[in-house]
Amino acid sequence: MISHESFNLLCWIWIAIAVVIFPILLKVTQPYGRHLKGNWGPLINNRLGWFIMELPALVIFGYFLIFKANLLNVLVLVPALIWGVHYFHRVLIFPLLIRTARKKIPVLIVLLAFMFNVINGFLNGYWFVHFAVVYKSGILIDLRVFTGVILFITGFVINKYHDFLLIRLRPASGNGYKIPFGGLFKYVSCPNFLGEIISWAGFTLVAFNPAALSFLIWTIVNLTTRALDHHKWYIKEFPEYSKERKALIPYIL
């Protein structure tokens, strides 16, 4: 078994790697979806790619939580439910919803994301099995868990609603892009990413451990840089694109 100190150190190293990768991702556009270029090696079916790369998060975390953790502890059960709901959708529903006819994704991206999800699923699952704090009712802890759950639900709804608006922009057999409207698209180009970040901030507040924090920081790194790239792309592709919209955070970024 890994000691608590070594495990925390692992999480902080993982966070440091995310911080180092942030400026790199500000320069290198993640090559999938609209940013796919031909020079990123072999490609596979986009739908299959999404399923493969997200699967480890569901399976590895699920293994730890279902077979090893104490689900009677509220501080384990609530994060487990959050993770389960999110990844059940991301792995088994999202790949079926996307209108992605004939689209491909680089095998390299699938492999990198697969490895990320192995590490992320392991760190988060392992923490709840070995280091979870036992729940004792109290105003501070109840308030923290309640706020975290509300944040998660808010972020989840924002993410899914705007993913739905984006997916519906295209006919079932199409591959093109349009300017998205509705909901928070009035303010930002990527409200789906904003929702995803809010939902993992909620999870982190409930879980309150360095593994969850590492996931939140990785999500911020991935999605802030991707939102900036999407925003630049919209401005370049659509001269009529609203000057009022920001990339990710209304009025700010």
Among 129, 153, 169, 249, binds ligand NDP (CB under 6 A): 169
Residue whose CB is less far from ligand NDP, 4 or 43: 43
Q: Find the part of the chain contacting ligand NDP (CB under 6 A) among 6-14, 62-70, 74-82, 162-170.
A: 162-170
- Encoded one letter per residue, x for contact with ligand NDP by CB under 6 A and - for no contact, window 33-52 reads xx------------------
Nearest to 83 by CA among 115, 122, 130, 141: 122
68 near ligand NDP, judged by CB under 6 A: no
Q: Whole-number minimum distance, CB 119 to ligand NDP, in Å? A: 13
Nearest to 183 by CA among 205, 160, 202: 160
Residue 40 DSSP label: S
Q: Which of residues 138-157 bind ligand NDP (CB under 6 A)?
A: none
| Side-chain-facing half-sphere of 114: CA atoms under 13 Å | 12
Among 131, 177, 233, 241, binds ligand NDP (CB under 6 A): 177
Contact by Cβ (8 Å): 159, 87 = no
Q: Rounded to an integer, what distance in angstroms lies between the CA atom of residue 200 and that of residue 247? A: 19
Residue type at 183 in one-letter notation: G
Residue whose CB is less far from ligand NDP, 103 or 144: 103
Contact by Cβ (8 Å): 194, 245 = no
Among 47, 89, 103, 144, binds ligand NDP (CB under 6 A): 103
180 near ligand NDP, judged by CB under 6 A: yes
Residue whose CB is less far from ligand NDP, 23 or 171: 171
163 near ligand NDP, judged by CB under 6 A: yes
- What tokens appear for 181 in the block? 């409207």
* Dihedral pair phi/psi, residue 106, rounded to 5°: -60, 140
Q: Whole-number minimum distance, CB 65 to ligand NDP, in Å? A: 19
223 near ligand NDP, judged by CB under 6 A: yes
Q: Rounded to an integer, what distance in angstroms lies between the CA atom of residue 78 and that of residue 228? A: 33
Contact by Cβ (8 Å): 230, 247 = yes
232 near ligand NDP, judged by CB under 6 A: no
Range 230-240 burial, b when 16+ CB lie within 10 A, else e? bbebbeeeeee
Residue whose CB is less far from ligand NDP, 52 or 223: 223
Nearest to 196 by CA among 175, 167, 226, 229: 226
Residue ranges binding ligand NDP (CB under 6 A): 33-34, 98, 100, 103, 159, 163, 166-167, 169-170, 177-178, 180, 192-193, 196, 218-219, 222-223, 226
